[in-house]
Amino acid sequence: MTDQTQPRPQSPSIATRFLNSRYANFEFMAGAILTGTLVVLVALSGVIFPDGGSKIDLLARLTGPFQASGHPLGTDALGRDILERIVHGGRVSLLVGVLSALGAVVIGTIIGLFAGYYRGFLDTFIMRFADIQLALPFILLAITVIAIVGPGTDRIIVLMIISQWVQYARLVRGSVLSLREREFVQAARSYGLHNVKIIFSHILPNAMGPLIILLTLNVANNILLESSLTFLGLGADPQTPSWGGMLSEGRSYIQTAWWVTVFPGVAIMLTVLGLNLLGDWLRDELDPLGQTR
Amino acid sequence: MPVFRFILQRVLQAILVTLAVTLFVSFAIRLTGDPAIMLTADSSNVTEEDLAFIRETLGLNKPFFVQYLDFLKSLLSGDLGESFFRGSVRDLIAIAMPSTLLLAISSLGISILISIPLGIHSALHKGGLSDQVIRVLSLVGLSFPNFWLGIMFVLLLSITFPIFPASGFETWSALILPATTIGIILTATNVRLVRTQMLETLSAQYVMVARAKGLNERSVVYKHALRNAAIAIVTFLGLQFGNLIGGLVVVELVFNWPGMGTLSIEAIAQRDYPLLQATVSILAIMIVGVNLAVDLIYGLIDPRIRVA
């Protein structure tokens, strides 16, 4: 029993509350700052650099960085500003990373929920599909399919969804298998709730934690994959600024102009690092049992 | 006999996956349309007879399923047919495969040499400063695009300080940069794995018993804990083989390494479908094979796995 008459302790200041909260953590702060900066820059890219990173200035070609030339990170072989292209290139990376992961999580969750709840055919299908996916690494799959349908960011997104939904399906299936035997699900069933209602409003919310972690890490990983594919010439077309594309072009000038290949890579690394830090922090917060390890 | 049932089951499963993957690759490649027209796209005076001749010699006028069976037969017999432009596919792969395997094994070796000591150290000093540093460093390692790390190595150690060759495979020193690149990327994942596994085994009761009987710490960690953690670590390495191959493809291109990755990228660029079909299929079969081997070995060592 708590003593009602005792005066409440004075509410702590915002700073103390923050320092005591789960957010006062190196991984969260660093991850949030890196990811937040990227999202803001990409969202405002059209306002900050209205040229879209494609303004050619042949007189200023391959200008080095940190010189008072109006190009803080230097220019590429066509005299285009590297900083401008990096900010605009972030659009492609973020678009591919977020859309592919969202597509995969939606499809994978729905299939995983039903497979775990009803078992049977869907269950077998998921396991066999996972075997196949394990045998065909994404890069090989992409090489094969892009050789046929031609390069393009949209194709990469679709391929990622096709190849990656099964990770989510397996994860959700596993959670559902244990959740469906729990008392609250039994109770919902005994109330006479419809199975679909049970799946979406009782089981799904309890399976969310690991899903969110996997989603964060998946976005990070797909940004890496997208840059690899574009580097191989299988992604965004060379006209559109993209990090993988910039690296691929810059490689021809590596002897003389290091900045063309260094900075886009740093951009990829900071972005992916930010998301990985957030994913790691989320794992500590949401997945104490280590389902997503 | 449950052991035989287990082996048979896993082998059948692997064969099914192989069939599914090769079928998918063949089907995908046939969807491209008519290779005969693509082959002749650059020349001006191609007659219908020429096209018919090309289709006849390449076996393109047979139904898809017959073509797939032909491909399977050629895979089984080891004769992989002719590439469009570069002669026998088998010869091309026979040259590329050893380079790829060499690179794969060297990078795996580098990664094991770094990640096992670091992972053990991390697990023994859980929560300490060095553990935190290793954890953050491994996160940074997970965030590099592998090909960019390769380019940075070239920039630093071939151009600025010309120590190692930037590309090709003329001397043995050319192996160092690509193998280190993939090795570091693998290490980032493996350190975490070794750490988790070691933490798990170190908290097991037999480790407590080993300590209780007064064994020195060295023998507890290396003889008792590491050996037991090793099973799980080896399994995980095997399952990672697919990722390793995927990473190799891109890094090979950066270093112009004469392996399977470079071969398949060249095949795409030249629209050399028989070559592409063979390289991708063989890499996929290798991955299935390694996964099967790991599965079988693990199952034979540890009977609990067989039930699943």
Quote the pLDDT of residue B222. 82
Please compute, for residue A164, the number of CA atoms within 13 A of its CA located in the half-sphere on the CB side: 26
Through-space distance between the first and last CA atoms of chain A, rounded to whole angstroms: 41
Provide the shortest C-alpha distance from residue A201 to chain B (in Å).
30
On whether residue A16 sits in a domain, the answer given is no
Q: Which of B268, B270, B280 to mutate to test the interface with A (most CBs of A within 10 A)?
A: B268
Q: How many other C-beta atoms are found inside a 10 Å radius of the C-beta of residue A179?
A: 21
DSSP-assigned letter for residue B11: H
On whether residue A162 sits in a domain, the answer given is yes
Strand partners, A75: A81
What confidence tens digit (pLDDT) does each residue in A61-97 have?
777 787 767 777 888 878 788 888 999 999 999 999 9
Whether B150 shows a pLDDT value over 80: the answer reads yes
Contact A273 B246 (CB under 8 A): no
DSSP-assigned letter for residue B151: H
On whether residue A100 sits in a domain, the answer given is yes
What confidence tens digit (pLDDT) does each residue in A162-179 have?
999 999 998 999 889 888
B21 CB neighbours in chain A (<8 A) are 132, 135-136
Mean pLDDT of B169-193: 90
Who contacts B75 (Cβ-Cβ below 8 Å, separation ≥6)?
B22, B278, B281, B282, B285
Quote the pLDDT of residue B308. 46
- Residue among A220, A228, A293 whose CB faces B196 most closely: A293
Whether A3 shows a pLDDT value over 60: the answer reads no
Domains contained in chain A, number: 1
On whether residue A55 sits in a domain, the answer given is no
CATH number at residue A227: 1.10.3720.10
- CB distance A165 to A107 below 8 Å: yes
Contact B287 A137 (CB under 8 A): yes
Q: Cα–Cα distance between A288 and A274 in angstroms, integer?
A: 21
Q: Cα–Cα distance between B243 and B241 in angstroms, integer?
A: 5
On whether residue A266 sits in a domain, the answer given is yes
Whether B86 shows a pLDDT value over 50: the answer reads yes
**Helices B89-124, B273-301: crossing angle, 10 deg rounding:** 40
Q: Cα–Cα distance between B233 and B302 in angstroms, integer?
A: 14
Q: Which CATH number fits domain B97-305: 1.10.10.1100, 3.40.50.620, 1.10.3720.10, 3.40.50.2020?
A: 1.10.3720.10
Classify the complex by whether its ipTM is higher than 0.90, answering yes or no.
no
Give residue A120's domain range: 26-49+71-286
Q: What is the pTM of this model?
A: 0.87
Contact A254 B29 (CB under 8 A): no
On whether residue A14 sits in a domain, the answer given is no
Higher pLDDT, A184 or A60: A184
Q: Cα–Cα distance between B62 and B276 in angstroms, integer?
A: 20
